[in-house]
Chains A and B, each alone.
Chain A
Amino acid sequence: MNKIKNTLLSDSFNRAYSSVFSILIGLLFGLIILMISNSDQAIDGFVIILKGGFNTEAKGLGQVLYFATPLILTGLSVGFAFKTGLFNIGAAGQFVMGSFAAVYIGVKWTFLPAPWHWIVALIGAAVVGGLWALIPGLLKAYLNVHEVISTIMMNYIGMYLANFLIKLTVYDSKKALSMNVAETAVLPKGGLDHFFFNHLGTTKDMSTVNGGIWIAILIAIVIYIILNKTTFGYELKACGYNSHASKYAGINDKRNIVLSMVIAGMLAGLGGGLLYLAGANGRHMKVVDVLAAEGFNGIPVALLGLSNPIGIIFSAIFVSYITQGGNYLQTLNFVPEVIDIIIACIIYFSAFALIFRNILPRFLKYRKEKKATKATGQMETDAGAAAETEVEAAAEVKEEGSDN
């Protein structure tokens, strides 16, 4: 029993645990809203949401991965900036600009041969996304303009500019969407076409999932390595934790702020490329005055993954899964807007993971302290116990500090 409890109190476990716990609360909250909006079908609807991608079997799961791909990238974008102490609200703008660059290259630069075409398109998406974040980065570093303000403005500029440019260059007025990208610019399937399809008579009903998910996972691992193994990541995190101390250590914090924003922007832009280079069945850019949801959903994805690149892979898949489940709610009598509300509630409520991360160990500790007198000696030797009172320890240090 004690062993189980100490595992529960260990830090890494607690991190994943709090995310799962908050997801459960988010789901419960979703159920309540389902009850309010349509009590007769609430339970049925809830089951559909929980079934998520499974509602349409293999193809549905493929779609979950397809829509998780851009979320992984925007989640990484927000999470990476966050590790550096920056709050990148601008993933939506960077995402849409990157998307446009990818689609433009995909449609227009047909002179490029097959593998190079999509590779160049992806690089273009990342570069444009990075440039879009360069401006707030420079403003923050050299003029001390808060990045939240400037990235929000860049979101709107990006959205309208992309709309304008699409209409000007790659607009298919019959479908009111961006044109199909050339076959050579479509991302390869990466072996996933063997798994994610449904049988439709004799033909296969293919999912639009493609090798983009592999790229996204690869990028997440690369970001993980950069943050944890390199001098660059060491500097970035130092700036994020304590900008004074990093200046004192001779780290060029201005350069790091700019670089961090640019990398965040590149990630979001790449996410756009990965979503829209998916062939005729895949998504196409719409000309609407709405900020890209993928950009904003990057925030809850990053929070839910606690800004850990590996955690973000899973949280992006979760958010995509739930969103897919929400889409199938339309088979019941749910109004599309209500579905959006339900899904948004589940996602954002889940993103309170961070709060639970603080509350949960305290609660467990409180219960433990009550029984502490019984098993004191045992507890001390246990390394797991050391992590439990991060907050307490910090307070203690503070006290010690002022005691001086």
Chain B
Amino acid sequence: MEYIIEMLHITKEFPGIVANDDITLQLKKGEIHALLGENGAGKSTLMSVLFGLYQPEKGVIKKNGQEVKINNPNDANALGIGMVHQHFKLVHNFTVLQNIILGVETTKHGMLKMEAAREKVIELSSRYGLMVDPDALIEDITVGMQQRVEILKMLYRDNEILIFDEPTAVLTPQEIEELMKIMKSLTQEGKSILFITHKLNEIKAVADRCTVLRKGKYIGTISVDDTSKEEMSEMMVGRKISFAVEKSPCHAEGIRFEVRNLTVSSRHSTKKAVNNVSFKVKKGEILCIAGIDGNGQSELVYALTGLMPIESGQILLGGVDITKDSVRKRNMAGMSHIPEDRHKDGLVLDYNLTENLMLKKYFTQDFQKNGFIKFDFANQYAEKLIEEFDIRSGQGAKTTVRSMSGGNQQKAIVAREIDTNPDILIAVQPTRGLDVGAIEYIHQQLVEQRDCNKAVLLISLELDEVMNVSDRILVIYEGEIVGDLNPAEITVQELGLYMAGSKRSEVTL
């Protein structure tokens, strides 16, 4: 069978690292080809090369056997290569139709001609079962729908090669299933799909073949049907990985952290972002707050950690009311916080690793004397954490954090937060965007904290994580707790229904 796109022996170097080392990727027409690899394995570099954002040092790209040169994304578009980015690129106060034609507007004498475009969009939408209303505003439709708009954008441009970058990260289980169907129907119509992911279940579900990268090197291309999940993950990580989180039964006792009737107003609307939420976290327990993104989790965490004012309610840590305390006081009282957005809140990207690791300790007696930072001590401390938590970087403690990979940035945050020896660890999507190896590691750390009789509050969107790690699950929907569940007694499907708001139980605390 002929290949529609071939990337042969691609080598791309950055100073100090070879991001892609002699990588070959061959995409057959009409197949779904998964690209699997850890963070920093070179997936995005490879896709950037295909998209014309980088020029490789070595190697050629061929389309239908013809060698092509892709100098910029426009060239890529002209060759029929389209991409759905993980973070959608949509104008929120535009309609679906306006978003789709943006950049390729059909005009007559400088005036927009929408009718032809609308017909084409409706035709495409029904042909592929996308069911998108062309006149709906983006801000009014669900995330899953928005993703379909992104897909329509590619189809409208007659792209033949569709790149999906981590498409399922933002979707509910039900939406993921629908997406899988759509992807299959796309290939039936002759489109070819490159599917970037590190979720093995999804690869198993839809992909025909899978190319695995590890640390910039090409490991192999396999047929998905003939390979087990375990084999794939071993190829990806280079060692055996346990999928189940190993943990002993939970021995929770005694309340460590309590929230009473917390209400937080929303920045955007008059609706409450968090509405009358109460819960307790026991010592030695991992309590998980599950929910679809945007149901008040961020506001809840910001309120708990003192980064956002609350309207009413009480927060108690170890029986002490900390509702009115500053962030610093809360931290000193034993609260740690692994933030949702590591670039915005968690790190000062232009500081080096040492300076970031001491971000919550620089003012203590160990780190300063008369206002002068003891850099020698700080560096030793950083070396210790780097060793202990296996944080990898180009120049050790002196590395600017901006230049580190996402997984290692996250490890640095986890190291910093756990090393403060917290009473309550608030971890918000601690494994977001990480590969299985790093996820396994962070989950172990969370469980270890629990086993040390600490309280852990985990806020997560990943269903696997919710089910595997937590001892108890609270489901949040539109700012309210709608379920108090035991992960051992509930199925993923049921949890999905709670998260989507179509099911709720009386929560007794």
Report B249-283 residues with CB < 8 Å from chain A CB: none
Chain B residues contacting A144 (CB-CB under 8 Å) are none
Contact in complex: B39, A404 (CB < 8 Å): yes
Chain A residues contacting B15 (CB-CB under 8 Å) are 379-380, 385-386, 388-389, 393
Contact in complex: B39, A394 (CB < 8 Å): no
Q: Which one of B19, B307, B339, B372 has the greatest number of beta carbons of chain A within 10 Å?
A: B372
Task: Tell me the complex Cα distance, A250–B58, Å.
Answer: 48
Say yes or no: A231-B45 contact (C-beta < 8 A), given A393-B403, A400-B40. Answer: no
Say yes or no: A229-B373 contact (C-beta < 8 A), given A386-B16, A396-B14. Answer: yes
Contact in complex: B372, A238 (CB < 8 Å): no
Say yes or no: A244-B362 contact (C-beta < 8 A), given A231-B368, A403-B165, A404-B432. Answer: no
Contact in complex: A241, B348 (CB < 8 Å): yes
Main secondary structure of the interface of A (DSSP, over half): helix
Task: Tell me the complex Cα distance, A403–B166, Å.
Answer: 7
Task: Tell me the complex Cα distance, A249–B359, Å.
Answer: 6
Stretch at the interface among B315-323, B325-333, B441-449, B450-458: B325-333
As a 0/1 sequence over residues 326 to 367 of chain B, the CB contacts with chain A under 8 angstroms (1 = contact) are 111111000001010001111111110001000110110001
**Does A201 sit at the interface, judged by CB under 8 A?**
no
Say yes or no: A246-B166 contact (C-beta < 8 A), given A229-B372, A402-B85, A403-B39. Answer: no
**Does B95 sit at the interface, judged by CB under 8 A?**
no
Contact in complex: A250, B85 (CB < 8 Å): no
Contact in complex: B57, A401 (CB < 8 Å): no
Contact in complex: A403, B343 (CB < 8 Å): no
Task: Tell me the complex Cα distance, A232–B351, Å.
Answer: 15
**Does B13 sit at the interface, judged by CB under 8 A?**
yes
Report B102-116 residues with CB < 8 Å from chain A CB: none
Chain A residues contacting B171 (CB-CB under 8 Å) are none
**Does A234 sit at the interface, judged by CB under 8 A?**
yes
Contact in complex: B19, A403 (CB < 8 Å): no
Report A300-327 residues with CB < 8 Å from chain B CB: none
**Does B402 sit at the interface, judged by CB under 8 A?**
yes
Task: Tell me the complex Cα distance, A380–B53, Å.
Answer: 22
Report A236-255 residues with CB < 8 Å from chain B CB: 237-238, 241-242, 244-252
Chain B residues contacting A28 (CB-CB under 8 Å) are none
Count of A residues near B, CB < 8 Å? 39
Q: Which one of A245, A380, A392 has the greatest number of beta carbons of chain B within 10 Å?
A: A245
Contact in complex: A402, B347 (CB < 8 Å): no
Closest B residue to A403 by CB, please name it: B44
For residue B258, give the distance in angstroms from its CB to the closest CB of chain A. Answer: 22
Contact in complex: A234, B355 (CB < 8 Å): yes
As a 0/1 sequence over residues 127 to 161 of chain A, the CB contacts with chain B under 8 angstroms (1 = contact) are 00000000000000000000000000000000000
Residue from B43, B196, B344, B403 in contact with A245 in the complex, judged by beta carbons closer than 8 Å: B344
Closest B residue to A401 by CB, please name it: B406
For residue A388, give the distance in angstroms from its CB to the closest CB of chain B. Answer: 6
Q: Which one of B47, B375, B405 has the greatest number of beta carbons of chain A within 10 Å?
A: B405
Task: Tell me the complex Cα distance, A385–B13, Å.
Answer: 12
Contact in complex: A231, B19 (CB < 8 Å): no
Contact in complex: A404, B166 (CB < 8 Å): yes
Say yes or no: A231-B363 contact (C-beta < 8 A), given A392-B14, A401-B406, A401-B433. Answer: yes
Contact in complex: B14, A231 (CB < 8 Å): no
Contact in complex: A397, B402 (CB < 8 Å): yes
Closest B residue to A402 by CB, please name it: B86
Report B274-312 residues with CB < 8 Å from chain A CB: 305, 307
Say yes or no: A238-B351 contact (C-beta < 8 A), given A250-B328, A396-B14. Answer: yes
Chain B residues contacting A388 (CB-CB under 8 Å) are 15
**Does A333 sit at the interface, judged by CB under 8 A?**
no
Say yes or no: A250-B368 contact (C-beta < 8 A), given A400-B44, A403-B86. Answer: no
Q: Could you say which interface size class chain B belongs to? A: 35 or more
**Does B324 sit at the interface, judged by CB under 8 A?**
no
Closest A residue to B58 by CB, please name it: A373
Residue from A229, A237, A402 in contact with B165 in the complex, judged by beta carbons closer than 8 Å: A402
Contact in complex: A393, B402 (CB < 8 Å): yes
**Does B92 sit at the interface, judged by CB under 8 A?**
no
Chain B residues contacting A399 (CB-CB under 8 Å) are 44-45, 48, 53
Task: Tell me the complex Cα distance, A396–B346, Å.
Answer: 19
Chain A residues contacting B432 (CB-CB under 8 Å) are 404
Contact in complex: B347, A386 (CB < 8 Å): no
**Does B395 sit at the interface, judged by CB under 8 A?**
yes
Chain A residues contacting B327 (CB-CB under 8 Å) are 247-250
Task: Tell me the complex Cα distance, A389–B169, Å.
Answer: 31
**Does B404 sit at the interface, judged by CB under 8 A?**
yes
Q: Which one of A237, A242, A372 has the greatest number of beta carbons of chain B within 10 Å?
A: A242
Contact in complex: B16, A372 (CB < 8 Å): no
CB within 8 Å of B: which residues of A? 229-232, 234, 237-238, 241-242, 244-252, 372-373, 376, 379-380, 383, 385-386, 388-389, 392-394, 396-397, 399-404
The 6 tightest CB contacts between A and B, nearest first, are A404-B433, A250-B328, A403-B44, A250-B327, A248-B345, A399-B44
Q: Could you show 7 A-B contacts with beta carbons less than 8 Å apart?
A: A229-B372, A234-B355, A245-B344, A249-B359, A400-B405, A400-B406, A404-B434
A248-B345, A379-B15 known, 19 other contacts, Cβ within 8 Å: A230-B372, A231-B363, A231-B367, A238-B348, A242-B348, A242-B349, A242-B350, A248-B327, A250-B328, A250-B330, A372-B57, A394-B403, A397-B406, A399-B44, A400-B406, A403-B39, A403-B196, A404-B39, A404-B86
